[in-house]
Structure 1
Amino acid sequence: MTKDSDTPKSSTWVPQGPTEQGFLIPPDHPHQHVRAQFPPSIATHRGQLWMVWTDFSDQIWYATTTPESHGDTFAAGQQFPYVEGDGKHGVPVIANLNGILHAIVVSAKTGQMNHYIYNADEQFTWIHQEDSLPDGCVAGKKSREPALVAFHNKLFLAWIGEDKGLYYTEWDIHSQTWMAISRVSEGDYQGTPAMFVLNGSLHVLSETADGSADIVGYRYDYTESGWTWAPADDVSEGKAAKGVSAASYGNNAYLGFIEDDAVYVAAHLDGASWQKPEHVGGEDVVARFPPQIAVINGRVHCIFAGKWRGDLHWFSRPVLGYDLKTWMGAIDDDKWLSNITIPGTHDSCARSNVPFVRTQYLSISQQLALGIRFFDLRLRKHDDGKLYCYHGGMPINLPKGLSFEQVMDQVWQFIGPKYGDKATETVLISINNDDKSAEQKSNPKIFYDAVKEAVKVTPTYEDGSKRWYTEPVTAKLGDVRGKAVLLRRYYGDPDVEPTERMGLDLEQWLDDNPDFTIVTANGVRVRLQDKWKYATRCSLNELVTSKQTFVQEMMGRALGTLKDPGDEEDGSDLPELEETWFINFCSAVGDPVEHGEVAEAKWIAVGAHSDMHFFGKWIEGMNVRTRDYLRTMDDGAGRGGTRRLGVVNLDYPELPDDSDLVARLIETNF
C-alpha cells in the first residue's frame, strides 16, 4: 500500500492514535493494523465509542473505547459470539437505541439475519435474540450490508432483498418485538441502502436498479393514518451512489461519503444546508467503503477501511468551539459560582437495573467528560463507617455497592491539576441523606459527622492545596478550580452554630416543589425548582408540558426576564441577582402503577409515544424540549451574549443519541 501523506494543514480532521495516517492499531498487537473486509459499523453507547467489523479471516470482532480515554482510544477487540457461523462469515451493523446497544449480523453465505442485544448491566456480553426477526429478513447476495438506525423509541432495519425489493422492519423497545416486514416502496433497488436521522426526520436512500442508477429518497412521517414512508428528496445530493453514513448532533448533521475513492464529510449546520465537504486524511488515503460517522463528547469521528488492504483509518474533529472537558477554563476567575450556567445531573449515581430507580447510564467520569459539573448524591452511612450511594432506599451497583470514596476518586482524577498545568474545573457536590430512619432524624449528627470525616481524610494535592471547599458561603470560580464544592442538603450538627456548619446550607429543601427559596444563616439566597412527582392521572404530553413550564419559568427568573411582584424593573437588583443561586431540575416521574401513560424517568427525559401501545404520535421529552427552548433565546444559546441559567439538572443527559443539550447549556456562559 502506498504510504499516506500527512493530513493537509487546512483540514480540521486529525488522526486518532499514534500514526499520522490514523491507522487503528490493536493495543494487544502494536505492530499490526485492524483490517476489515466489509464496512465497519460504529455507534456511541453509554459514553463510549463502539465498533464491530469482520476481518479477512471472516472472524467478527467488536471493540470499545476505554473508559478513561473518553472516546479517544480503543481497547483490544473481542470476538463477537455470532451463532450461525460459529463467530465467522457475518456482516455486522450496530446501533444504540436510548442506551441499549443492538447488533444485526447478516450471514455472508445465506443473507439470513440475527439480532443481538448487549447486556451492559449484568453479564457484559451479547445476547442472541433467537427467532426474534420476522420471516423474510434475508439480504440479497449482492446487498449483504443492511442499514440499522435508532429513531424515537424504535430500531429500524432496512435492506435490499433477494428480489431487489427495498424492505424494512422495526423493533419496539416496549414490546421487545419486530413488526412484520414491509416494502419501503415498490420498484427494484441495488447496492447498499443508507438510513439516517437528519434534523429530526428518518431518511432512507437507495439506488434504483432500472438502469438509471438514480438515488431515490424516502422520509418516515406521521400522518392521520399513522407512520408511513413518503417520497422525499435525495438529501445526500447524489452522494449516496456508493453509500453514505450520517450522524446528528443537535441541530447539526454530518454526512460521510466517498468520491473518486477519497473520503469526505459534509456538515449540515443549523438545519440550513450542506457545507462544502471536507477531505479526510492525506491525498493518498483512499477508501474501499463509505466512512462511518459518530459523535461523542463534542467530537465527530470518522472510521473507514482503506481501499487496498482494508486497514482501518480513524480521524476526528471538534464540533464545538471549546472542549467539554475543560470548558470552565474560558470563564473568568472572579465569576461567582452562582452566576454561571452549570449543567448537572439528578440522582447522578443511579445506574440501577431497576427502571424506576435508574436515572443515568453514564458513570461520574463519563458525565464529567460530557461537561457535567453538578452532582446530586444520595448517601447512607454503613456499619463500616463509610458512605455509600443510594436512591430511594435502593443501594447502587449491587452487590458490591458504590462508595462515596469511589465517586470522589473519579472526580479528583478528572478535575485535579495534570502534567504541571493548573486546574480549570470545579464540581458542585450536593449531598443528601438517603436514610430516613427515626434514628437519623432524631440525631442528624451521625450523618453530618460521617461526611465531615470523609472530607477530612481526603488527601491534599501534591502542592498541599485542599481538594474540598466546604465554606457556607458562595465562592468565586478562581478560588475553587480543582476543588469540589459542598452543597449540604442533610441536616447540620445541632452542636455547631448554623453559620459555622460545613457546606452551603440547603437543609430547608422542600420536596416536590416547583418554586421555593432558601435563605441560609449566612445570608446566601438559593431559589429552586424541584417538582418531580406526578401522582395525578394525566397524559404523557400533559406531564412533560407541565414540567417544561416549571423549568422554563425558573430559567426566566435566573435570566432576570421573569420578574416577581416587587422586583425592580430598572436592573438595580442585578448584583443581588448574580449572587443568588438558581437550581433547576428537569427530572420527573409519574406514579409507577396507577397514573400516567409512561411513568419512567427515562421516557420523561427522552420521550415516548403517546398511547399505551406506543404506536401513537411521538412526544418529545424534557431533554429535547429544553434544548429547543435554548435555541429560541436570541437565535440560540450563547449567541445573544452571556446568559446565566444557574444549575440545570438532567436525567440521561446524553440522550437522545443526537443530544447537544449539555453543550447548549455551557454555551450560555460565552
Structure 2
Amino acid sequence: MFPGGKGPARGSPALAVHNGELWCLWLDKNDGLLYHATSDNQSWGPKTAFVGNYWTGLVPDNPTAGPALADCNGVLHAAYSVDGSLVHYQYDDIAKKWGKRSLFARSSATPSLQAFDGRLFCAFQGDGNSLNWTTWDPEDGWMRPMSANEKTWGSPALYLLLDRLCLLFAENNDDRHTTNTTFNTSTKSWSRTFGSPSQKTAYGVSATGFNKDIALMAFQSHDDNDKGLVLVDTFNNGAWQHNESIGSSSSDTPAIAILNNVITVVYNAHTDARDLLWSQATLTDYTPDSWMTALANIKPNLRITDITIPGTHDTCAISAVPWVATQNMTVIAQLNAGIRYFDLRCRLVDGFLMMYHGDYALDMYLEHVLDDIYSWLRSHPAEGLIIQLSNEILHETDFAAFSLAATTLIVHGPNKDLWNTGVDQAKQQIGINATLWTENYNSPRFTIPTQDGTLVIQDQSSFSGAPDAIIPQKFGVVATLMDQASADESHLNLYINYTSMTSTFPFRRGPVAPWQLAIGYEDIWCEFTPGVNRHLRQKLVVGGSAHYGVVVMDFPELPQYDMIDYLITSNFEAAAV
C-alpha cells in the first residue's frame, strides 16, 4: 500500500516518468480531488494536492474520471475529464505548480497521453465509445480532435514501440479483446499492425514502451474465474507474450510505467476501500544505479578506457531560464539513472565555490553538490564517478585561488577517501590536469596527454545556420568520435565526446535553448528537425556491442528515457562477445 495513506483512489491512477522520478496522479475516492506523489523506485514522497492556477487564482477541479500523465520535451502534462470536457495542465518544475489550463475535447472517460516527434498526443473515448485522438504543441496548442475509426471499451493506451506511436484499446464488444494500432505520420491515420495481444480486458488498458522493441501492457482480467485480476503482458522478440499476474485485483484499470529498468504497476484495490496499491518487478538483470557493479561481476578486469560511460554537460544547470538549463534531473536522479561523468562548473564567490553556467549562478554550492554525491557513493560502494571540475570564468588565467579552494574542499574533507585523485600536495593538483582544455568552438577534437594515456576530446560547441543543417553537422562530429573510440583497441585513450551545442539561427535573435538543439526544433511552419539526442539514440539502437568512451549529454533522459540505458547496455553486449 502507498505509505502515509495516499489512497483511496476512484478511477484509474496515472503514472509517468519525469526528471528521473516516477510521478503518480490519482483521484481521491473520499473528497473527489486530484493528488500526486513522486517516487525514486524505493519509496513515495508526500501526498500533494493538485491545484490548477487559472483566471481567478488557485481553483481545484472536480474530475469525473481518472487522469492521464506524460512528459513531453521535459514538461509534465496532465489531462482529465471535468463535466464531460477534457482539461489540460502543464507542471512548472521551478514554481512547483500546475498551470496553463485549457479545454480541448469532449469526453467523460480517462484519456491517454504520450509524447512523439516533439508533440503531445492524446487518445480518448468519445461519444458512442468512438476512439478519438488529437495532438498538442507549444506553438499551436491543441488541434481539432479526429477519429481513429475504431470503437473502444474503456480507456485506451498510447505508447512507443519499434520507434512508432502505438495505440492499444479494448474492442467494443462482449469479448473485449485488446487490439493494437500504429500511427502513420504521413497520412495522419491509424492502422492495425504488429499483431494484437488479443487478451480480454474488463475495462481499458494502460501501456508503456522500453527501449526500442519492448513494451508492456497492464489490464484487468475479463475471465469469469478471476475477473479484475491485474495482469501484465509483454511485447518482446516481435510478439506479445503470455500474460503474468501480479497476484492482486483492482477496481479500475491499472497504470504501468518503467523507471530505471524497474516496472511499477499502480492500481486501486478491488475492495470497498479502494486503497491505492503498487507492485514492482525488475525488467533486466541489473538496474542503472548499480550497472558498474554488475558489469564488474561479468568482466572484472575492464578498464575505464574499455567501456561506455554516460555523462552530463553542465551537470547542475537546472534553471527556469531556457538558454541556461541543460538538465532536468537532479544529481541524485542522474546517478540513479546511470550517469557516471559529471561536468561541474564553478566560480569562486566570497571564498566559496558556487555552481555556474557561463555568467549565470545556479543557486547551489559545490560543497553541497559533493555532499549529495558522497552520500550516494557511500550507499553504492562498487560504483565509480568521473568528475570534471572547472572554473567557469572563461577569461580568467590565474587559477591559483580556485585550485586551492577546490583542493582544500576535497583533500581536507571527511570524504577524501572516496577520491582516486593522485593528489600532488606540492602543486595543489587533483587528478588529471586538464588546463589544456581549449575552448573548442570550431575544431572537431583535441587531445590532452597524461602519464597513463591520452584524453581525446570532442567539445565543438558553436554552430551557425539553419537547424536542419547544423544539428546533423554536430551529430556527425559526435558519431565520428564514437566510431573512433569503438575501433581503438589500444586501451590507452579515454574518449570524451560532448553532444551539447550552442547556436543562434540566422533568422532569430539571441541564443537558442539547449533543449531545442538536444531534443528537436519546430519552426514557424511546424517543420520538426530532430535534435542531437534523437540522432544519438538512433545510432545506439543499431550500434550493438561497442565501447564509445564518455558520451556527455544535455537532457539525456529526453526525448525517451531509454537512451541512457542504450549506452549502458552497450557495455554488457560488448562484455558478452
The verdict on a shared fold, with TM-score over 0.5 as the criterion, is yes
Q: Say if 2:5 is the partner of 1:95.
A: no
- Please give the residue correspondences for 1:258-337 in structure 2 after superposition, counting only pairs within 5 Å: 258-259=220-221, 260=223, 261-269=228-236, 272-281=238-247, 285-309=248-272, 310-330=274-294, 331=296, 334-337=301-304
Rounded to whole Å, the distance in 2 between the matches of 1:556 and 1:358 is 29
Q: Kindly tell me: are residues 466 and 376 of structure 1, through their superposed partners in 2, closer, same or farther at Cα, counting changes over 3 Å? A: same
- TM-score, normalised on structure 1? 0.76
Q: Identify which of 449, 470, 476 aligns with 1:519.
A: 449
Aligned match of 1:471 = 422
Matching residue's letter, 2:267:
F
Q: Say if 2:406 is the partner of 1:406.
A: no
Q: Identify which of 599, 612, 624 aligns with 2:524.
A: 612
Aligned match of 1:360 = 327
Q: Kindly tell me: are residues 114 and 328 of structure 1, through their superposed partners in 2, closer, same or farther at Cα, counting changes over 3 Å? A: same
Aligned match of 1:233 = 193
The runs of 5 or more residues in structure 2 that have no matched partner are none
Aligned match of 2:535 = 625
Q: Identify which of 412, 425, 437 aligns with 1:457.
A: 412
Displacement after TM superposition at 1:363 (Å): 0.7
Say whether the 8 Å CA contact 1:115–1:133 is kept in structure 2: yes
Displacement after TM superposition at 1:184 (Å): 2.8
Say whether the 8 Å CA contact 2:177–2:200 is kept in structure 1: no
Q: Kindly tell me: are residues 449 and 598 of structure 1, through their superposed partners in 2, closer, same or farther at Cα, counting changes over 3 Å? A: closer
Larger deviation: 289-298 or 208-217? 208-217
Rounded to whole Å, the distance in 2 between the matches of 1:600 and 1:630 is 24
Displacement after TM superposition at 1:527 (Å): 0.8
Rounded to whole Å, the distance in 2 between the matches of 1:188 and 1:471 is 66
Identical-pair percentage: 26
Q: Kindly tell me: are residues 558 and 164 of structure 1, through their superposed partners in 2, closer, same or farther at Cα, counting changes over 3 Å? A: closer
Number of residues of Structure 1 aligned to a counterpart in Structure 2: 555
- TM-score, normalised on structure 2? 0.88
Aligned match of 1:369 = 336
Displacement after TM superposition at 1:217 (Å): 5.1
Q: Identify which of 181, 205, 209 aligns with 1:244.
A: 205
Q: Which has the higher strand share?
A: 2
Q: Identify which of 447, 460, 465 aligns with 2:402.
A: 447
Matching residue's letter, 2:290:
T
- Give per-residue Cα distances to partners, 1:532-564, cap 9 Å, x unaligned: 2112x1342x32322222222212222226xxx
Rounded to whole Å, the distance in 2 between the matches of 1:555 and 1:172 is 33
Displacement after TM superposition at 1:509 (Å): 1.6
Displacement after TM superposition at 1:87 (Å): 4.5
Structure showing greater Rg: 1
Say whether the 8 Å CA contact 2:20–2:329 is kept in structure 1: yes
Aligned match of 1:566 = none
- Please give the residue correspondences for 1:7-156 in structure 2 after superposition, counting only pairs within 5 Å: 23-26=1-4, 29=5, 34-66=7-39, 70-81=40-51, 86-91=60-65, 92-107=67-82, 110-121=83-94, 123-129=95-101, 132-134=102-104, 137-140=105-108, 144-156=109-121
Rounded to whole Å, the distance in 1 between the matches of 2:548 and 2:429 is 28
Q: Kindly tell me: are residues 203 and 457 of structure 1, through their superposed partners in 2, closer, same or farther at Cα, counting changes over 3 Å? A: same
Matching residue's letter, 2:28:
D
Matching residue's letter, 1:57:
N
Displacement after TM superposition at 1:666 (Å): 4.8
Rounded to whole Å, the distance in 2 between the matches of 1:145 and 1:355 is 32
Displacement after TM superposition at 1:119 (Å): 1.1
Say whether the 8 Å CA contact 2:229–2:250 is kept in structure 1: yes
Matching residue's letter, 1:623:
N
- Give per-residue Cα distances to partners, 1:181-218, cap 9 Å, x unaligned: 33333x76553333322222223344565888676654
Matching residue's letter, 1:506:
A
Say whether the 8 Å CA contact 1:165–1:188 is kept in structure 2: yes
Matching residue's letter, 2:46:
A
- Give per-residue Cα distances to partners, 1:235-275, cap 9 Å, x unaligned: 543237532111112122111122232222122225x2222
Q: Kindly tell me: are residues 658 and 417 of structure 1, through their superposed partners in 2, closer, same or farther at Cα, counting changes over 3 Å? A: closer
Q: Kindly tell me: are residues 338 and 214 of structure 1, through their superposed partners in 2, closer, same or farther at Cα, counting changes over 3 Å? A: closer
Q: Say if 2:492 is the partner of 1:579.
A: yes
Q: Kindly tell me: are residues 258 and 458 of structure 1, through their superposed partners in 2, closer, same or farther at Cα, counting changes over 3 Å? A: same
The runs of 5 or more residues in structure 1 that have no matched partner are 1-22, 474-492, 562-573, 638-642
Displacement after TM superposition at 1:292 (Å): 0.8
Displacement after TM superposition at 1:457 (Å): 3.4
Say whether the 8 Å CA contact 1:218–1:229 is kept in structure 2: no
Partner SS for 2:289: coil
Matching residue's letter, 1:589:
T
Displacement after TM superposition at 1:371 (Å): 0.6
